[in-house]
Amino acid sequence: MMAIRGNAVESQSPRASPSPRDGLLSPDSHMYIQGYKWVRWRVWCCRLAAVLSLGLLLIVFHWQPRLAVLLRCRSCPLALADILLITDSFARRHVVKVLTEEMEDGSVDLFVELEDNDSRDTVQLHNDEKTLLRYYLFEGLRYIWLARKGSFCRVSALNENWTRKDLHGFQKGLSPLEQSLRKRMFGPNLIDVPVKPYVQLLFEEVLNPFYVFQGFSITLWLIDEYYFYAICIFIISILSICISLYEIRKQSITLRKMAQFVTIVTIRRNSGVEECVSSEELVPGDCVILPQEGLLLPCDAALLAGECLVNESMLTGESVPVLKTPLPTGDGGYSSETERRHTLFCGTQLIQAKGGGAVAVVTSTGFFTAKGSLVSSIMHPQPTDFRFYKDSAKFLLLLGFVAFMGTIYSIVVLFKTNVTWLQLVIRSLDLVTIAVPPALPAAITTGTIYAQRRLKKQGIFCISPPRINICGKISLFCFDKTGTLTEEGLDVWGVMEGGAAGFSELVPDPRLLAPGPMVSGLACCHTVTMLQGKPLGDPLELKMLESTGWTLQEPEGNGNALDSEFGGHRVLAVVKPLSQSTYTEQAVAIVRRFPFSSALQRMSVVTVAHGGHSALAFLKGSPEMVASLCRAETVPKQFSRKLCSFSGEGLRVLALAYKPVDKSPDLGTIEREEVEKELQFLGFLMMKNLVKPVSATVINVLRLANLRSAMVTGDNILTAVSVAKTCGMVGDDEKVIFVNATPHTARSMPTLKFSLEEDRATTGQTSTVLQSLYQSGFDYHLAINGKSFAALCNHFPEYLPKVLLRATVFARMAPDQKTQLVKELQKLNYRVGMCGDGANDCGALRAADVGVSLSEAEASVASPFTSKTEDISCVPLLIREGRCSLVTSFSLFRYMALYSLIQFCSVLILYTVRTTLADLQFLFCDLFVVTLLAIVMGRGGPSDELHPDRPSASLLALPVLGSLLLHTGTIVLGQLAALFITTSQDWYVPLNSTMFGVANLPNMENTSVFSLSAFQFIFMAVVVTKGYPHKKPLFYNWIFLCLLLVLFGLTTWLVLYPGPFFGHILKLHDFFDMDFKMLLVALAALNFLICFLVEVLVDRGVLTCLRSLRGTRQSKKQYKRLNILLSESPSWPPLNETLSPTEHTVIQCS
C-alpha cells in the first residue's frame, strides 16, 4: 500500500533558551506523516475478526497500532486524512487522530487580516458546510493544517517571525474577538500532564507483553494442575501490577503538579481596560501587567517595560537571580534564544518587578514554552542508544530460539511415550515459559535502582535512571570552568587604566583610583539589583561593585522619586561613594541597561550625573570584544602583550570602555547598537579565580583511569590554559598548541594555523618539538577558541575530527557552540559527559550522554543528573556508580539467563525419563531461591577506585556468550552425572514406564536432578557476581552473603534429611543411603568449582585467543581508529604552516 507522504513543518527560528525545543529534545523537523482515511467495510471486517479471535486481534492492534491503521484505512492526501501515521527521527511510529474544531463565522477573515504578510502563512480552513479548523496533537504540541504549505505545521509557526516592533505593538492589548480567535488556534495555556484513571492504567498494564505472557503461563500451569505454583505467581503478578499502577499514577500526579499551573493574571485589552483572567486563557499576543510583588510565570513572555528580578533555578539549575530588562525597539526579528535577558520564561519565579508598570507580551503558551518543552522531554524521552539495552532484546530472541529447539526435542520425546495430544501440547508450551524468563527485563533494572538510591544519599539526583548504566561507559568528560573547576566567587586582583599613551601602573585596590570614568564604570556597569536591602546578582559583578566602595540604591514606591534629581530621566538605580550621605556631583544614575550576552560577550549601561548635566555610556566585556568596539587610537599598543601576560597568570581579565552620549533624545529608548560603538578604551579589571582544591585531584583520578577530560569555557584562552595546567588537565611536561582558524572574508580566504605556546618554544625549537611529538606518545594538547572553532567547522570540516581528538581547552565558547561540540565529539563515538553550573551549559548538559548540573535545586530539569555538591567530586562517584550498575546489570542478566537454562535442562532431562518437576519444586526454586537472590544481588556498592578499563556493554560479546555456553555445558553434565550416578546404584528402582509426568512422583531421578539443580541456582549466583575492579568484593554485600549461606544450608538439609513433612510436600524421594546423599553434595561442590574456574579463565581472557582466528579487526569506535592514524603520521600537526581548505593532505578515517 502506498501512502501519501508529507512533513511536519517546523518553525525556522531557534527556540527559547534556557530550554530550547531543538532537534535534541523534539526532532519534529524530521517527522514523516502518512495520511489515511477510514474504510467502513474494512472497519466492520476487523470488528468481526476481533469477535471471532476472542479479542486477540485487538491485543495485536494495541501492540501494533500501525497494523490497525493499515487494515482499517486506506491511504489518502493529508488534506483529507482522518488518521495520521507519524514516523519520528528515531524510526518510531505513532498513530494520531485528526481533530476538527468549528470556528465562528467571519473569524477566518479576521485572522487572515491580522496575520497576513509575506513571512507568515495564512490558515486555510477546510470549508465544507461548516468552517472547520483541522489539527492534531502530538506530544502535547498542536499542529494545524496549512493549505498553502500543504502540510501540518506547528501552531507556533503563526507567530514565529514576530519582530521587536510587532511585540511592542501588542502593548495596546488584544480585542476580545482577537483573543477568542487566537485561543481557538493555539489552544488553552496548559501544560497538561494526563493522569490516567486506574481502570485505563490496569487495562494498559495487563496488555503489556510481559503480563500477557504471564497470563498465558498461569493458564497453562492451571491446566497442567500446577495449582500452588500458578496461584502464587498469580498473586505475585497482581501485587506487581498494583505496585506498578500506584507508582505510575504517583509519578504522573507529581509531574502534573510540577507542570500544570493556573493563576490569575492581569491583561490589557485594546480598549485600555485592564482585566483579570485565568492564565489558562492567555494566548500569544496578550499584554500582561506584571505585579510588583512578583508571581510564578505561567507563559513565555517578552518584557517590554520595567525590569524584573527572576529566579530561573527550576529550569537552569542556576540559583543566582537574573535581572531581566525591556526588549529594545526596532525592526529586528525576535528570538528568545538571542533575547534571553529580555524574555521571561514559563515556570520561573518572578521575584520582583521594578520601575513601576512592568509589562510583558506573551510569546509562547502551553507545551511551546520553555517549561513545556522540558516537561515534554520528560514525558516522551528519547530512546536510549545504548548497546546493553539493544543486546537485551536480541538475547531474548536467542533464548526464544533455544526454547523452540527444546520444544521440538520435547515433542519427539513425548510422542514416543504415547502421551495424549493435550499433554503433548501443554508440556511443549511449558518449555517456552521456562526458557524465556518474563521477569528478565525487570530483573536487570535492580542494579540501577540500588545505584540511584546510593547516589541520592550522596546528594546526586537523577531524573533518567537508564543513564546511570551509560555513566559506566563514559570515555570523555567536559567541564565548564567558572564555578565548576574554579571557585564561583572571584576576588579583585587589580585595575590598570589605559589609553592612547599606554597603560598606567597597576592599582591593586579600585578604592585607590582617582575619581573619573574608570571608577564610575566599575561602579555602574553591572546588573546588580537590590532585594530587601541586600544586593543580588552575578558574583563577579557583586565583587566588582564591592571593590569600589560605592553603594547601590533603587527607587522606591512608583519609581519616580529620583527622576527629578537626575534631569527628569527614568532612573533604574543610583550609585554613589559610600562616604557620602547626600547626593553630590559624584552620584550617578543608571537610566538604561543592556545585559550581558554570552553571544555578544559584553554588557553596557547608560548613566547620567546628578542634575542630569552629563550622560555617559559604559561597556564591560571580554578584552578582545571591547577593543574591537573602541576607537583604534584609544587602545594602548601594549594591549595584546598585557592581556597575554595577565591571562597567562590565570587571571580573569575584563576590559572597560566609555563614551559621552547625547542627552537630547530619550535615553530610556536609546538602541544598543548606538551605545556600543566608537568607544574610548578605559583599561583592564583583573580578577583572581582560584581553582577549587578538589579539581586537580578529580582530574588526576580521571587521567589515571584513562578517561579524557576537556575544558569548555567562555573565558579567555590563555586564562583557560593556565587553569588547565593548574588543575592537571595539561601536565607540566606537556606542550600546548594553539589552533587559529579564520573565516572567509571579502579580503581573504579561510586559513588554519597551528602554533606552539609562545613562552614554551622559540622558532628554532619548532622542528625539534615536532619530531618529539610522537616519540613520547600523547604529550601535547590543542587549545582553540570559539571563533576558530566556528571557522574550523565551516571551512575545515576534514580537520575537525583530528582537532577534537587532541584538543583539551575550548575557550570563548558560546552556549550553542558548547552543544555543537558535544554532538561533534559523539560523532567520533565518544561517550561524552558534561559537568557545568546549569546556566549557559543547559544545551550541552542535555546533549551529552551524561549531563551533571552543579546546583542546589533538587527539582532542576536542566540535566539528567543534579549534584548538590559544589565541586566536581561527584563525577568520579557517578562513573563508579555507573560501572557498578552496569556490571550488576550484566550479572543479573546472566544469572536470570542461566536460571532459565538450568531449569530448562532439568525439565528436558526429566522428560526424557518420563517424569518432570513437581509443583512446589518449581515454586521453591523460582520464588525462594532465584527471586530472593536476584533482589539482593545488586546491593553491592561500587569500588573505591576507578580502574583504567571500562566494563563491557555488549551482551553478545564473545566472553559473555562463551561463558554462558560453557556454564550451560557444565550444568548439563552435572545434572546428567547426578542422574547416571543414581541409576547406577544397586538399590535403584526404575520408573513406572506406563505413567508420565507428576503421576510418577516422587521418584529417584527427579530427586537427584532437582537436588543438584537447586545447588546450581545458588552457586551460579556466586559465579556470575563480579567484584573487582568495578564493585566491592562479595563480602561487602552481607545480606546477599547471608542469604547464600541460608539457602545453601536449607538445600543441604533437604538433600541430607528432608524429613517426612517436607519430603511429602516437595515430592522428594527419601534416599536411605547417606553416602549417596553426601555424594550428591560433593558433586554439587565439584560442579561449583568447575564453573568458578571457567569464569575465572574467561575473565583472564582465555576466550580472546579465538579472536586470532578471525584476524585483526579495527575498532568500531572512530576516535580509536583516528588516534592510531594520527600517531603514525609524523606531519601532524603541521606547526607554523598556514593551511587553506584544499591545500594540505588529509588523514581520513574510514
Q: Exposed, middle or buried: residue 205 (CB in 10 Å: 0-12, 13-18, 19+)? A: middle
The amino acid at residue 336 is S
The edge-to-edge listing of strands for the beta sheet with 651-660 is: 502-503, 491-499, 680-688, 651-660, 615-621, 602-609, 588-597, 573-577, 550-553
> Among residues 592, 646, 597, which one has the least CA distance to residue 625?
597
Percent of the chain scoring above 70 in pLDDT: 88
- Helix axes 517-524 and 539-548, enclosed angle (nearest 10): 140
- With beta carbons less than 8 A apart as the criterion, state whether 334 and 396 touch: no
Give backbone dihedrals phi and psi of 299, rounded to 5 degrees, phi first.
-160, 170
- Average pLDDT of the residues of the chain: 82
How many other CB atoms are there within 10 angstroms of residue 658's CB atom?
25
Side-chain half-sphere of 1143: how many Cα atoms within 13 Å?
A: 12
Determine the average pLDDT of the residues in 844-859.
77
Q: Taking 50 as the threshold, does the pLDDT of residue 20 lie above it?
A: no
Check residues 472 and 1143 and name the one with the higher pLDDT: 472
The amino acid at residue 1092 is F
- With beta carbons less than 8 A apart as the criterion, state whether 285 and 553 touch: no
Angle, CA of 624, 628 and 634, to the nearest 5°: 105
The amino acid at residue 447 is G
The position carrying cell 517456552 is 432
Coil, strand or helix at 1109: helix
The position carrying cell 517571525 is 161
CA distance 466 to 392: 14
CA distance 780 to 803: 12
Q: Taking 70 as the threshold, does the pLDDT of residue 983 lie above it?
A: yes
Q: What is the DSSP letter of 638?
A: T
> Among residues 602, 595, 441, 442, which one has the least CA distance to residue 529?
595
Model pTM? Answer: 0.78
CA distance 693 to 399: 52
Distance of CA 706 to the CA centre of its chain: 24
- With beta carbons less than 8 A apart as the criterion, state whether 673 and 852 touch: no
Angle, CA of 64, 256 and 237, to the nearest 5°: 50
Q: Residue 110 — very low, low, confident or very high, per pLDDT cuts 50/70/90?
A: very low
Distance of CA 1092 to the CA centre of its chain: 39
Q: Taking 70 as the threshold, does the pLDDT of residue 23 lie above it?
A: no
CA distance 794 to 544: 38
Q: Exposed, middle or buried: residue 1087 (CB in 10 Å: 0-12, 13-18, 19+)? A: buried
Q: Taking 80 as the threshold, does the pLDDT of residue 612 lie above it?
A: no
CA distance 1027 to 1040: 13
Check residues 1140 and 873 and name the one with the higher pLDDT: 873
How many other CB atoms are there within 10 angstroms of residue 796's CB atom?
23
Which listed residue (28, 286, 430, 480) is catalytic?
480
**What is the length of the chain?**
1150
- Helix axes 693-704 and 717-727, enclosed angle (nearest 10): 70
Q: DSSP characters for 569-582? A: ---SEEEEETT-SS
Task: State residue 760's pLDDT score.
Answer: 43
Query: Which residues lie closer than 8 Å to 247 by C-beta, 6 or more apart?
Result: none
CA distance 675 to 681: 14
Query: Which residues lie closer than 8 Å to 893 by C-beta, 6 or more apart?
Result: 392, 395, 440, 443, 444, 955
Q: Exposed, middle or buried: residue 944 (CB in 10 Å: 0-12, 13-18, 19+)? A: exposed
Task: State residue 104's pLDDT score.
Answer: 63
Give backbone dihedrals phi and psi of 219, rounded to 5 degrees, phi first.
-60, -45
How many other CB atoms are there within 10 angstroms of residue 110's CB atom?
15
CA distance 568 to 664: 12
Q: Judge whether 385 counts as a catalytic residue.
A: no
The position carrying cell 560577550 is 601
Determine the average pLDDT of the residues in 605-623.
87
Q: Residue 712 — very low, low, confident or very high, per pLDDT cuts 50/70/90?
A: very high
Give the pLDDT confidence of 337-366 residue by residue, as tens digits: 778 888 998 888 888 887 667 899 999 998
> Hey, CA dihedral for 396, 398, 400, 406, is it positive or negative?
negative
List Cα–Cα distances, 230 to 214, 217, 224, 225, 234, in angstroms. 10, 8, 10, 9, 6
CA distance 713 to 704: 24
Give the pLDDT confidence of 750-779 residue by residue, as tens digits: 889 898 875 444 444 444 555 454 444 447
Angle, CA of 875, 881 and 887, to the nearest 5°: 135
Give the pLDDT confidence of 899-925 residue by residue, as tens digits: 999 999 999 999 888 888 888 898 898
What is the pairing mode between strands 287-289 and 264-268?
antiparallel
Q: What is the DSSP letter of 90?
A: T
Q: Taking 90 as the threshold, does the pLDDT of residue 883 lie above it?
A: yes
Give the pLDDT confidence of 228-257 residue by residue, as tens digits: 878 888 888 888 788 878 888 887 887 788
CA distance 825 to 822: 5
Tell me what percent of the chain is helix, strand and coil, each rounded to the nearest 5: 45, 20, 35
- With beta carbons less than 8 A apart as the criterion, state whether 813 and 821 touch: yes
Q: Taking 90 as the threshold, does the pLDDT of residue 1086 lie above it?
A: yes
CA distance 605 to 615: 11
Percent of the chain scoring above 90 in pLDDT: 22
CA distance 314 to 520: 35
Query: Which residues lie closer than 8 Å to 221 by C-beta, 6 or more apart?
Result: 227, 229, 230, 233, 430, 433
CA distance 657 to 684: 9
Joined grid coordinates for residue 265 = 493574571
Q: Taking 60 as the threshold, does the pLDDT of residue 1090 lie above it?
A: yes
> Among residues 1017, 1037, 1019, which one has the least CA distance to residue 884?
1037
Q: Residue 1094 — very low, low, confident or very high, per pLDDT cuts 50/70/90?
A: very high
According to DSSP, the residues that pair with 740 across neighbouring strands are: 753
Q: Residue 802 — very low, low, confident or very high, per pLDDT cuts 50/70/90?
A: very high
The amino acid at residue 28 is D
The amino acid at residue 793 is C
How many other CB atoms are there within 10 angstroms of residue 481's CB atom?
26
Task: State residue 288's pLDDT score.
Answer: 92
- With beta carbons less than 8 A apart as the criterion, state whether 828 and 1119 touch: yes
- With beta carbons less than 8 A apart as the criterion, state whether 730 and 648 touch: no
Task: State residue 439's pLDDT score.
Answer: 67
Determine the average pLDDT of the residues in 604-625.
87
Which of 111-125, 368-382, 415-429, 697-711 is predicted with the least confidence, judged by mean pLDDT?
A: 111-125
Side-chain half-sphere of 141: how many Cα atoms within 13 Å?
A: 30
Coil, strand or helix at 765: helix
Q: What is the DSSP letter of 634?
A: G
Give the pLDDT confidence of 556-587 residue by residue, as tens digits: 766 666 777 787 788 888 888 876 544 455 78
Report how far apart the first and last C-alpha atoms of the chain are (Å, whole number): 38
- With beta carbons less than 8 A apart as the criterion, state whether 898 and 968 touch: yes
Joined grid coordinates for residue 759 = 613562552
- How many helices (H) and strands (E) the chain has is answered by 37, 40
Give backbone dihedrals phi and psi of 690, rounded to 5 degrees, phi first.
-75, 140
